[in-house]
């Protein structure tokens, strides 16, 4: 059912939240646009202007690694300045109230953690761009460390095993993280309300979770400005601004 207007949508959502025991939110780029973080996949987004650097190229070529880090540092002001939006804060309120065990996200911006979610309760399907990891041994590195090395010698290698260091994101051509996929699957099946927020739900595996939740008996809510691929199976569709829709649920 598509909400006829914002007010009736928020009202219906409020009822469903009140009736739910376990809510699992699934978030995409749309929840972070009011925080100044562009949707990389949208028309005019960075991925439509620059060809993405695939994981294989990153591993094989110092030039590709240098270019990848140049692009990341060019985005630093945007990521460093971003603060949680109304959507993040509303979910954090429901998390503190014990209604949300964990959030599943396609975003790499760390804003769920910044809003108050414990790191272990943010399931990042595409990783996190606010720190780096060695692709060999997994050693974590601060971006400041990478930047100092980068300025001196170009993209750095790990001080432990000498393999390249990369943002802790999942690149094109890289495997989906297995543990995160398993946890996201288990959560989707165990909730009684699944809320997809700011994702077009086209890209696998995003497309699979709403159906998984639905098949396991949960109610499904989709909040997105644009129609999504899964609107037909949703119990409630709210096609409005995410901040305005979730703003009323920001608590203390």
List of residues contacting Zn ion (CB under 5 A): 134, 136-137, 139, 158, 160-161, 163
Q: Which of 45, 51, 28, 61 is nearest to 172 (CA)?
A: 51
| Active-site choice (88, 121, 126, 240) | 126
> Is the omega angle on the peptide bond into residue 205 within 30 degrees of 0, that is, cis?
yes
Q: Which residue, 38 or 177, is less far from Zn ion as judged by CB? A: 177
Distance of CA 77 to the CA centre of its chain: 19
Give 3-53 as a DSSP string: -SSHHHHHHHHHHHHHH-SSEEEEE-GGGTGGGT---TTSTTSHHHHS---
Give me the least distance between CB of 63 and Zn ion, in Å please: 21
Q: Rounded CA gap, 187 and 172, in Å?
A: 25
Give me the least distance between CB of 166 and Zn ion, in Å please: 11
Q: Which of 128, 144, 156 is nearest to 73 (CA)?
A: 144
Give me the least distance between CB of 145 and Zn ion, in Å please: 13
Tokens of 148: 């100092």
Q: Which residue, 79 or 141, is less far from Zn ion as judged by CB? A: 141
Q: Which residue, 22 or 139, is less far from Zn ion as judged by CB? A: 139
Whether 121 is catalytic is: no
Give me the least distance between CB of 162 and Zn ion, in Å please: 7
Where helices occur in 52-125 by DSSP H, the ranges are 55-60, 62-74, 76-81, 86-96, 111-115
Q: Which residue, 139 or 185, is less far from Zn ion as judged by CB? A: 139
Q: Which residue, 157 or 185, is less far from Zn ion as judged by CB? A: 157
Q: Which of 122, 128, 163, 127 is nearest to 143 (CA)?
A: 128
Q: Which residues contact 119 (CB under 8 A, 6 or more apart)?
A: 113
Give me the least distance between CB of 72 and Zn ion, in Å please: 19
Q: Which of 168, 53, 32, 51 is nearest to 107 (CA)?
A: 32
List, by residue number, the catalytic residues: 126
């Amino acid at each position: 059912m598509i909400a006829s207007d914002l007010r009736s949508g928020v009202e219906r959502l409020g009822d469903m939240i009140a009736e739910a025991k376990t809510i699992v939110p699934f978030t995409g780029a749309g929840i972070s646009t009011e925080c100044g973080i562009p949707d990389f996949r949208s028309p005019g987004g960075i991925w439509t202007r620059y060809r993405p650097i695939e994981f294989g190229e990153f591993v094989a070529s110092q030039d590709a690694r240098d270019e990848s880090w140049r692009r990341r540092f060019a985005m630093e002001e945007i990521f460093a300045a971003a603060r949680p939006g109304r959507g993040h804060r509303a979910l954090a309120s429901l998390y503190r109230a014990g209604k949300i065990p964990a959030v599943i996200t396609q975003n790499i911006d760390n804003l769920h953690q910044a809003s108050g979610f414990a790191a272990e309760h943010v399931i990042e399907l595409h990783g996190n761009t606010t720190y780096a990891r060695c692709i060999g041994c997994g050693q974590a590195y601060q971006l400041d460390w990478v930047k100092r090395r980068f300025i001196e010698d170009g993209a750095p290698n790990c001080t432990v095993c000498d393999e390249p260091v990369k943002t802790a994101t999942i690149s094109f051509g890289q495997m989906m993280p297995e543990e995160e996929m398993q946890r996201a699957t288990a959560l989707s099946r165990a909730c009684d309300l699944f809320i997809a927020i700011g994702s077009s739900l086209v890209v696998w595996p995003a497309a699979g979770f709403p159906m998984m939740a639905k098949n396991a008996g949960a109610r499904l809510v989709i909040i997105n400005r644009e129609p999504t691929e899964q609107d037909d199976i949703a119990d409630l569709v709210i096609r409005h601004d995410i901040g305005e829709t979730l703003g009323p649920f920001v608590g203390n």
